[in-house]
Amino acid sequence: MASLHGGEKEEGQAALQQPPADWFILLERITAEITELLENRRMWLRMTARSTEQETDRHFQIADGWDTAAASPDGQSWLASLYYRDAALGIRRMVDGDRRTGSLKRLLQKMAEEPKLLAAEWFLGNSTGERRRELDLAFKAEADTLDFGHLNPTVPRADLAALTGKTAGIKCYVDQHVTHAQLDPHSTMPPPSDVDEALDLLARLLDKYTFLLRPPRNRSGSDDSGPGETGTAVPDATAGPRG
């Protein structure tokens, strides 16, 4: 019986330990990358809206005739090519499987490999009452669909499968045309809709895993969500994609 109790004690202690530090390091890098991609998209949409309305923004007039050239069909086509090429490259970085990279794919792989390291007890922290019930329901909905008491590994695996499928064409294009000058490329530039859908998915996954790894804590300010990080609000299930 002593060994049994000892095992239960060890499991209980493990449940209160925060996830590995490298998960938070990956999340920090991923956050910076995806935030920049979404900000670039917002800037691009503002620029195209101004062009459509034939408005001029002096901020971009770095030389005489710049605004006229950018508003021309050739100028717009050139800018669009640059923007979507850069966005495709950024998306490609998030599905890089190299162990030296800070990609969303690597984070999802690590979490799927060691799901017990994201325990419900750690996520709930010292919350009590209605707040604890609210967080418990949110954790089960997002991460613990079978009530394991920790992350269900099928959750990050399914998210990775969705991400891989959504970005397959983009990855192929970048590998053949951007990072390498392949002699016999068979891919073409993905349509803007594919790039936008991939960005929407990255935004949703960033929100989801930020919530799981930087959970909201109680009003006293206690927060175990990682060094130098603060908790986040419970995500709104009805909220649409960002950007």
What mean pLDDT do residues 93-121 have? Answer: 96
Of 171, 157, 156, 243, the closest CA to residue 203 belongs to: 243
Q: Are 235 and 134 in contact, with CB atoms under 8 Å apart? A: no
pLDDT, tens only, 22-63: 999 999 999 999 999 999 999 999 988 876 655 444 445 544
pLDDT, tens only, 136-174: 999 999 999 999 999 999 999 999 999 999 999 999 999
Task: Please give the Cα distance from 39 to 43 (Å, whole number).
Answer: 6
Task: Please give the Cα distance from 24 to 209 (Å, whole number).
Answer: 10
Q: Where are the domains of the chain?
A: 2-53+75-213
pLDDT, tens only, 196-233: 999 999 999 999 999 999 998 755 444 445 544 444 44
Looking at residue 226, what is its pLDDT? 53
In this prediction the pTM is: 0.78
Q: What is the mean pLDDT of the chain?
A: 82
In the predicted model, is pLDDT for residue 86 greater than 70? yes
